[in-house]
Structure 1
Amino acid sequence: MPQTEEPNDPDLAAWREIVENYGDRAELPPDAAAVEPATESGPAYSIRFGEFGDDVDEAFEAPSDPVDDGFVPPEPEPIHLGPARTAAWSGVLGAPVLALIATVVVTATNMSVPHWFGWLLVAAFLGGFGYLVVTMPKDRDDPWDDGARL
């Protein structure tokens, strides 16, 4: 059953005023804080902009001395790649680069590349990728390490 009486709700009254005045163009005075404009469709509310007490025009100055907390990061370990791992990485990274270079050369010139060259690149990529996957470590050095590093 619909209500016949409207409750005395200020939010509902404000909403109804917004709906009634939808599409009307607001007229703003030159100084909105000093004068309240009158509109044709109902009461107008003055627009007031607050004043900020902080100094927003001043530039931020960073401290001149960085905070010294005494932390010195350890020296990184050198990369130890054996000949098999180096060949595997060369196949994984080098085969697509060589394929791209061969494609550009064949497209730009009248040269041709033998079919075995493409199969060699595919084999180098797949072989290198397979070797790197098979030789991955199976477990962690530290079981409590979650992998997060700073």
Structure 2
Amino acid sequence: MAPSKMNLLVATLLVAFAAVATPPAAAFSFPAILPCLDPFLPRIPLFPCVEPKPLDLGPKECRTPLLKMMPCAVFLTNSSVTAPSRACCDGFSAIGMDGEAICYCRLVNGDIQQLLPVPMNFTRMFSLTDACGINYFGLDALPEHCARDGSPPMTASPPAP
């Protein structure tokens, strides 16, 4: 038995009414994958956009990250100390884990000596990765990288007036 034209019309009206009566929160929308354009342009309905995140360009200066290595001062400057302390290794590792690895360049080029009471033993500094059991990078590979990419200054320059 074929539905009558009246039944078809009623069914069509019910579907249309249900579509109009559906609240916007329950309506379908695409996932937010497109970047938002200008805040003054209208948004496209059903196509949410993703607000861009500011770029994290790393530290603005390296003095603060390198201060994490101050427990290493005794190991780096005193030849009678045979191994770095756990605090030294934790601070040394934290620089890389906190997204401040570019500041290892200031360690390799000797700028960390500004923070030390006496001159640093570079042999001991290059042995820190082995002495601390860090096997995901070696300081000996940094000089070429640091010369090519540069690093933030040891201290931030004062803001311009």
TM-score range, shorter chain: under 0.3
Larger Rg: 1
| TM-score for the superposition, normalised by structure 2 | 0.20
Larger RCO, structures 1/2 (Cα 8 Å, 6+ apart): 2
Structure number with the higher helix fraction is 2
| TM-score for the superposition, normalised by structure 1 | 0.21
